[in-house]
Amino acid sequence: MADKLTVGIAQIAPVWLNREATLEKVGQYVHQAADAGCALVVFGEALVPGYPFWLEKTDGARFESEIQKQIHAYYLSQAVSIESGDLESISAIAAERNIAVYLGCIERPADRGGHSLYCTLVYIDAQGLFQTAHRKLMPTFEERLCWGTGDGAGLHVHELPPFTVGGLNCWENWMPLPRAAMYAQGEDLHVAVWPGAVRLTHDITRFIAREGRSFVISASGVMRRDAIPAAIPHAELIRQNSPEILADGGSCIAGPDGQWLVEPVENDETLIVAELDHARVREERQNFDPAGHYARPDVTQLYVNRERQGTATFDDGA
């Protein structure tokens, strides 16, 4: 059993734009995953407090729009401040239940002034310790209207025996160089988090698995129009312009040969549980290892800047 690891994907909907209620729901699913014997549970991108679906539904690019300012201000108020302890309830459950957690959240970091938002993938280990907060390097298309660009500080992997696990946000998984940065650190279990779209996870999950000769977990969320709360600013406008289904899931797991272990699960709120066998990684690395015997570092190398970026450096003297 030393080669085996049980993992879970919590494909759930947020209590949209409600940080505390969504975190309570996350905590319930961490408990469920622990009850199912999981050593790791993964949640979708931007789950806490939710993905900014309103942007393309409400003329989000209009400059000096009072509507956009009001919705954004509300979003900011519900974002996660790790320094303020917003995720302490989840870290406490992780420690209590001896389970690691990857959680997608919208972060409001103090080290960038506390009034800008970043799409952040947080890794909490099984001792409840915050290990990395990876801010999405490049928000996609309309996401740039409300999220800032991240940095490389979170491009780390973590030992989760018998695996080495790492994770990226959504379209970062399409970026070959960040993937290469994870491979170079020995990643053999890759976590890809998404807001929820089968069309996104169906092809790339298997491709990354085949390229990296690794297991790949794609974790997505789900979201329906009728889950838009009346209490948020301009809720009716958002509803009027939204389809019935805003996010249709697509959580899945591929093995290191690129074949499905769990095919994409559409629409359902559910806990997906699977057992991974590290021996399969070693078998597939026999003929291809992207950072090992099949690499040519004498010809091509990657430079990665993992410094946390900030606006100012202060020297207060001795």
**Half-sphere exposure for 123 (CA within 13 Å, toward CB):** 24
Per-residue buried b or exposed e for 263-290, using 16+ beta carbons within 10 Å of the residue's own CB: ebbbeeeebbbbebbbebbeebbeeebb
d(CA 35, CA 48): 23
Residues with a catalytic annotation lie at 45, 136, 170
For the chain, the three-class secondary structure string (H helix, E strand, C coil) is CCCEEEEEEEECCCCCCCHHHHHHHHHHHHHHHHHCCCCEEEECCCCECCCCHHHHCCCCCCCCCHHHHHHHHHHHHHCECCCCCCCHHHHHHHHHHCCEEEEEEEECCHHHCCCCCEEEEEEECCCCCEEEEEECCCCCHHHHHCCCCCCHHHCCCEEECCEEEEEEEHHHHHCHHHHHHHHHCCCCEEEEECCCCHHHHHHHHHHHHHHHCCEEEEECCEEEHHHCCCCCCCHHHHHHCCCCEEEEEEEEEECCCCCEEEEEEECCCEEEEEEEEHHHHHHHCCCCCCCCCCCCCCCCCCCCCCCCCCCCCCCCCC
> Which of these, 200, 219, 206, lies nearest to 269 by C-alpha position?
219
Place of tokens 């100012």: 312
